[in-house]
Structure 1
Amino acid sequence: MAKSKKHLGRYVDPRTDFGWKFYFGREDNKILLIEFLNSLFQGDKIISDLRYKPVEQDGDYEEMRRVVFDLHCIGRDGEVFIIEMQQLFQEFFKDRAVYYTSRLINKQLARGKKGSDYYLPEVYFIGILEFDMDRNGSSGISRVTERPYFYDVALCDKLTKEIFYDKLGYKMISLPLFNKQPEELKTVMDQWLYLLKHLSTMDRLPSFLDKRIFGLIFEIGEIGKLTEEELMSYEASLKHKRDAESVINSAMKSGEALGHAKGLAEGKAKGVAEGERKKALETAKAFKEMGLPIADIAKGTGLSVEEVEKL
């Protein structure tokens, strides 16, 4: 077994690509994903079992782009879950979430079904975000809610607020907006979000986290228990995460500066748009030079695969 390195901490960081799939993407550990999802549904739905499905979805025709999910699962009752961990800000992330669910909904209507048979399973998109999803919102107004970090979205009647269709849902967590302290953790979801943010800096299971739920994470997550191959993959994933944070911070500064200058000369809206695009191109170019997969770069920056390939 590989020995732990001090600069890596004691536990695998779940906010790395390796860590996210290490904890939540393995059949042996699927109870962790089940518990996490149940905490987000807060009793509205009880998930008792999951089956992992292929994460790659090819288009139905040549012009339709291929999509790659982080995790794709089917519940015992046939409900579909897409779970994504998104590190980089993406201007059209909401569009992407709707597109992903639309792709899976389309797949459900298999050829041969009778014309009037439109029964569909439940489809849910779960997004864990390392950014404030509405930081560039057109309204410029922060969400007024006790839980600004949690988006619980469904199709509803705008006048009555009643649920119109209960088989399509989006649950998003903006981790930077979750700032609760240990004494403020009132729900299991609170405990999960605290763990996601702070596990990489912990050295033991704290008393304020439920051992029955989180004990397995602290048992399997020790870096010292990783194989040499796993450790190498984790170190590479952690480096990509840290490099991404550095690159995106620099790109944001240059993008904001360009957006401001363009806004003065050509109008704020156009300037910000150009600044955002320049930021995305700079970030994609840096990631490409780092050797990240083209598909992952496109996914993280919102650019098309073709645009990334041309850089």
Structure 2
Amino acid sequence: MNAKYVNPFTDFGFKKIFGEEASKPMLIDFLTNLLPETNIVDLTFKDKDKLGQTENDRKVIYDIYCENSLGEKIIVELQKAKQNYFKDRTVYYATFPIQEQAEKGDWNYQLKYVYCVGILDFRFDEKVKLGEGEVIHVVQLKDQNNKVFYEKLKFVYLEMPHFIKDESELTTRLDKWLYFIRHLENFQYIPEIFKDDVFIQAFEKAEIAKYSEDERHDYEQSLKVYRDLKGVIDTAFDNGQVQRTLEIAKTGKLMGLSMEDLIKLTGLTRNEIENL
């Protein structure tokens, strides 16, 4: 049976549902329920290409970078597969929206909040059985007494493979969003639990039949990349290959992935990939 809706773990699908101007009601609703302390009224998409100090940094930045009406920064990344030093990379890129707040001349160093959200289509620890691990991981800087030392930087990781609730078990709006993301590609109709304006808009944005011929082509290409990469990476990790990262990079090059995608996927530098 052909899919009626896009796979939200593809770059194309994720951008359609959450990363376009017309998608802001969905993004606001999702983030408000994930980060209720932010009290989001409106969001402005920020220019990701201005983040980072080097050309490589600016090309491998997060999928969505936005700001709420209070000037708080929110970064959202979709991570399709495991990679080396994933946590290191998220911490590194979290420094960019901090640095951009610096003011010229005299400045008191007061910063706005920065939130980093990672939607992960993999498990941090493969030894933890599906459904037995935490779905939501909230990470902050704490002291030796487990008290939050700095509250203006927060990382939230959604470990999606562990979200195994069925429709009858959904109790919160965030549950519904996680269920939507997890199962969207398998829906053939809109379930009753999603019959409100925001979710109906999300389903409309995700419906493949509504796309132009060019958009459908772009989606099919994005879906192929997603499936191929998942297959290559999962096989590499399952086999415990010592050179798995290099093999993934080599395969990605043969598939025609861009340098930016290869850098984001593997954590390797441009020179390391070019020398393979």
Q: TM-score, normalised by structure 1?
A: 0.82
Structure 2 match to 1:34? 28
Asked if 1 retains the 8 angstrom alpha-carbon contact of 2:76 and 2:116, the reply is: yes
**Number of residue equivalences:** 274
Asked if 2 retains the 8 angstrom alpha-carbon contact of 1:284 and 1:308, the reply is: yes
1:132 aligns with 2:123: yes
Asked if 1 retains the 8 angstrom alpha-carbon contact of 2:61 and 2:93, the reply is: no
1:222 aligns with 2:187: no
Give distance in 2, aligned partners of 1:229 and 1:65: 29
Percent sequence identity over matched residues? Answer: 39
Distance verdict in 2 for CA 1:207–1:78, change over 3 Å? same
Which runs of at least 4 in structure 1 moved beyond 3 Å after TM superposition? 57-62, 64-67
Asked if 2 retains the 8 angstrom alpha-carbon contact of 1:25 and 1:71, the reply is: yes
1:296 aligns with 2:275: no
Kindly state the Cα deviation for residue 65 of structure 1 after the two structures are TM-superposed. 4.1
* SS of residue matched to 2:193: coil
1:155 aligns with 2:141: yes
The amino acid that maps onto 2:160 is: L
Answer with 222-231 or 298-307: which moved more. 298-307
Asked if 1 retains the 8 angstrom alpha-carbon contact of 2:25 and 2:198, the reply is: no
Q: What RMSD in Å do the two structures reach over aligned CA positions?
A: 2.2
Structure 2 match to 1:92? 85
**Which one of 36, 45, 48 corresponds to residue 38 of structure 2?**
45
Structure 2 match to 1:262? none
Task: Summarize deviations over 1:242-265 as a string: whole Å, max 9, x none.
Answer: 1111111222234x1x4xxxxxxx
Unaligned 5+ segments in structure 1 are 1-5, 259-274
Asked if 2 retains the 8 angstrom alpha-carbon contact of 1:204 and 1:218, the reply is: no
* SS of residue matched to 1:208: helix
Q: Considering only CA atoms, is the larger Rg found in Structure 1 or Structure 2?
A: 1
Distance verdict in 2 for CA 1:210–1:97, change over 3 Å? farther
Q: TM-score, normalised by structure 2?
A: 0.92
Asked if 1 retains the 8 angstrom alpha-carbon contact of 2:136 and 2:157, the reply is: yes
Kindly state the Cα deviation for residue 110 of structure 1 after the two structures are TM-superposed. 2.7
Structure 1 match to 2:270? 305
Distance verdict in 2 for CA 1:147–1:158, change over 3 Å? farther
Give distance in 2, aligned partners of 1:187 and 1:59: 37
Give distance in 2, aligned partners of 1:210 and 1:187: 15
Unaligned 5+ segments in structure 2 are none
Structure 1 match to 2:114? 123
Q: Within 5 Å, which residues of 2 pair with 1:58-207?
A: 59-60=52-53, 65-66=57-58, 67-114=60-107, 117-135=108-126, 148-159=134-145, 161-207=146-192
